[in-house]
Structure 1
Amino acid sequence: MREFPQISYAFAYGSGVFPQTDGSASRPAMSPHPNPPEAILKWQKGGGKMIDFIFATKFTQHFHSLNLNRHRDHYSFLGSFGSSIISHVQDDWGAGAYFNPYITVNGTLIKYGVVNFKTLLRDLSDWDTLYLAGRLHKPVKILTEDPNIRVANQRNLLAAVRCSLLLLPPTFTERQLYTTIASLSYQGDPRMSLGSENPNKVTNIITHQIRNFRMLYHDLIMSLPNVDYGEARALQQGWMEDLKLDRPMAQDMDPAFRGNMVRRLPKSFRQKLYFLYQRKFGISGREFEGMLEASADEDAKGGLKKPVGGPFDRRVAAETDLREMVLKCVNQTVKWPSATQSLKSALTAGPSRTLRYLKEKREKGRENALCDGTIVALLGDEGNESMDSSENTTEDG
């Protein structure tokens, strides 16, 4: 990570890292590197896709101050106002990310988003916006690891499974589960309705990344007592490599189990769901405040409480409109941060790069397939070693 100031946590994501097609579609030649090594050549064969990164830093203004000194050309006109304005735009507008697109690093085209470490940690834990947490619902390449983020992301992934189970019927298939998980952060995203994203995006992600989804979620699924695979074949050796396999799955719809899942949803998201049912059930404000206190994750002394579903959670879980209510909460969580983040990008990227980005996204949205992409050695040997050993999986807990 030598090109940038100190970064606490970083990952690469998107179709430039993981393929969303079979790579057979012909793409125009692109050679941003004058003497490309093998890794860059592989990237070029995928169509020279821009590769997306998220960098988390504990000191936003300090990062931008140093980065402006090193890479003033990465910033739009906002860079002229200094690191204080940039950090304000990053932290206080939209979903808390500041993106610099169309940046060439070691001959490779990238887009990198800078987020505050606490913002990332909070979204993983509470689902404030799902803007960052949703990206980590899908396979990513971890470049720089942090133990606090790792633990928070395990909870984030488990929350994605629970939320998706609340949206699914008693029986479903493995691909339906992963499709539901991958779709969460796109619900309410204005880019999907405006044609700025491929309408088959989620299907492409699951079709070509089913093995990575299995590595990411299998252990978490097995840890839940109310969901299981419907056939023993699922556990046979080598089943993760069978890309055509779509195993049947089933979940227990008992309100006690589902009430526990409701109770264990991330805090901000769970409170949205509670408010919807407060209005539906006609619960008074005072009574509802007491219920929120009783369902808090911490006790009066600040210690963590065991999250067991109470009478209200079980009542919610038994409602026939639970799926619609959960979807409404997902839309409420995603829509405004995504919309304001998109508007903010016009400032952070600048007019010319914004128009270029929108044009390319709309062209992609009209395609039925996106080109193949592979993560490459962009940031030196340190990044290579980290990427090889730190894929976003749950194999070691």
Structure 2
Amino acid sequence: MAIETFKQGILPHLKLFPAGICFTFAYGSGVFKQKGHNSVKDNMVDLIFVAENPLSWHTANIERNPKHYSFLRYMGSKAVTAVQNFGAAKIYFNTLVPVNNAVIKYGVVSRESFIEDLLDWNSLYVSGRLHKPVLVLQNYDDGDIKMALEQNLYSALHASLLLLPESFTEERLYHTLASLSYRGDFRMKFGEDRSKVSNIVKCQMEHFRSLYEPVIKSLDQWVDVDFLSGKAEQDVSPSAKLYHLNLLPKTLQMGMLEEWSRDGKYHDLEDILRAAAYDTECGDLVNAEIEKIVNQSSWSQSIKGVLTAGIFKSIKYSAMKVSKMMKSLNKT
């Protein structure tokens, strides 16, 4: 009921923005309760807008909502779109935007880049946010987006199972799924709540279960989760690992191929994945490649953040993040 109330409250705000958005979702502590946050009302609302044509959309939005943008608005929508397309994530954020009685942060990504990240994990930036429960606010029944969203969940489960042992708990599975897009993020060492992933999972078990139960049940040949007891087991044989490896996103597979090719010899991807399936450190190999993807995108987005938010908002936003981190350290 609380989520539905939030949705009805935020939907009118979307009328402030131009048309041309094919998919919108809200995420984070401003939507879903997290441990350590007394009320979602106290937190900034995070939104992602998937735009059909970002250049046209920014042109209209700069005219309609100029104060949302940093100094980049004076350089025009072409400059804004160029900054958006810089880096692997290809997303542009306006942050600390006051809208009526709320404060929001919204990111703009093209439909093409959105789908590519969901399928290939180019950056694990928007795809990683969708590994966790989100609230869909606008959805124009786009078949390609629907397919990519589903594929992203399967990819997350395949990757997580490769990182987990033979026996684990349902909560640990969700913790692993939620942590994928934070592995390798330098901000998790300084600038983020150290207990962020645990705080997300502990208060959202039902949402995670609703999101992943159909996916888990469709892979019952490889993994068995007892949703009553919370206990889980999986097949960790080389054949099972090879099955998961073959279904990992392209960027992750290509990263593994590149790593194995450092000896200067030619390697076939199929041979590399088979060798990895028999390697006792298979999970470490997968984790290392996930960390590379996330590390690259986290750095590029942080650099962009100074431009898109401006100096003063960047300082304020960073201070908020550091404050959360210090509170979590004090609790620890």
User: Shared fold (TM-score greater than 0.5)?
Assistant: yes
Q: Is the 8 A contact 2:88 2:122 kept in 1?
A: no
What's the secondary structure of 2:72's corresponding residue?
A: helix
| 1:274 alignment counterpart | 257
What's the secondary structure of 1:115's corresponding residue?
A: strand
> Does 1:254 find its partner at 2:237?
yes
What's the secondary structure of 1:368's corresponding residue?
A: helix
Structure 2 unmatched runs, 5+: 1-13
| 1:13 alignment counterpart | 27
Selected match of 2:281 from 321, 345, 361: 321
Note closer, same or farther for the CA distance 1:263–1:94 as it changes in structure 2 (3 Å cut). Answer: closer
| 1:395 alignment counterpart | none
Matching residue's letter, 1:167: L
Cα distance in 2 for partners of 1:111, 1:74 equals: 10
Q: Is the 8 A contact 1:22 1:208 kept in 2?
A: no
| 2:224 alignment counterpart | 228
Cα distance in 2 for partners of 1:167, 1:348 equals: 35
> Does 1:364 find its partner at 2:303?
no
Structure 1 residues 338-375: Cα deviation after superposition (integer angstroms, max 9, x where no partner): 11101110110011111110001110112239xxxxxx
> Does 1:72 find its partner at 2:66?
yes
Cα distance in 2 for partners of 1:3, 1:183 equals: 33
Cα distance in 2 for partners of 1:49, 1:121 equals: 28
Q: Is the 8 A contact 1:12 1:140 kept in 2?
A: yes
TM superposition score normalised by structure 1: 0.75
Structure 1 unmatched runs, 5+: 26-44, 240-244, 293-309, 370-397
Cα distance in 2 for partners of 1:76, 1:335 equals: 25
Q: Is the 8 A contact 1:178 1:206 kept in 2?
A: yes
Selected match of 1:160 from 153, 156, 177: 156
> Does 1:204 find its partner at 2:199?
yes
Structure with the bigger RCO (C-alpha within 8 Å, sep 6+) is: 1
| 2:169 alignment counterpart | 173
Note closer, same or farther for the CA distance 1:357–1:149 as it changes in structure 2 (3 Å cut). Answer: same
Note closer, same or farther for the CA distance 1:283–1:133 as it changes in structure 2 (3 Å cut). Answer: same
Q: Is the 8 A contact 1:137 1:157 kept in 2?
A: yes
Which 4+ runs in 1 deviate beyond 6 A?
none
The within-5 A match list for 1:73-112 is: 73-112=67-106
Deviation at 1:108, TM superposition (A): 1.4
Q: Is the 8 A contact 1:91 1:116 kept in 2?
A: no
Deviation at 1:314, TM superposition (A): 2.8
Q: Is the 8 A contact 1:94 1:338 kept in 2?
A: no
> Does 1:355 find its partner at 2:322?
no
Structure with greater Cα Rg: 1
Cα distance in 2 for partners of 1:366, 1:9 equals: 35
Note closer, same or farther for the CA distance 1:182–1:364 as it changes in structure 2 (3 Å cut). Answer: same
Cα distance in 2 for partners of 1:348, 1:116 equals: 17
Cα distance in 1 for partners of 2:204, 2:165 equals: 24
Deviation at 1:92, TM superposition (A): 2.3
Matching residue's letter, 2:250: K
Cα distance in 2 for partners of 1:223, 1:59 equals: 36
What's the secondary structure of 1:85's corresponding residue?
A: helix
Matching residue's letter, 2:18: P
> Does 1:4 find its partner at 2:17?
yes
Structure 1 residues 288-341: Cα deviation after superposition (integer angstroms, max 9, x where no partner): 2xx34xxxxxxxxxxxxxxxxx55433211101111111110111110111110
| 1:301 alignment counterpart | none
**Larger helix proportion, structure 1 or 2?**
2
| 1:284 alignment counterpart | 265
Matching residue's letter, 2:17: F
Deviation at 1:261, TM superposition (A): 0.8
Q: Is the 8 A contact 1:51 1:109 kept in 2?
A: yes
Cα distance in 1 for partners of 2:291, 2:27 equals: 22
The within-5 A match list for 1:33-48 is: 46-48=40-42
Deviation at 1:193, TM superposition (A): 1.1
> Does 1:216 find its partner at 2:211?
yes
Task: Report % sequence identity.
Answer: 38
Cα distance in 2 for partners of 1:46, 1:168 equals: 31
Cα distance in 1 for partners of 2:196, 2:124 equals: 18
> Does 1:336 find its partner at 2:296?
yes
TM superposition score normalised by structure 2: 0.90
Cα distance in 1 for partners of 2:36, 2:327 equals: 14
Q: Is the 8 A contact 2:27 2:133 kept in 1?
A: yes
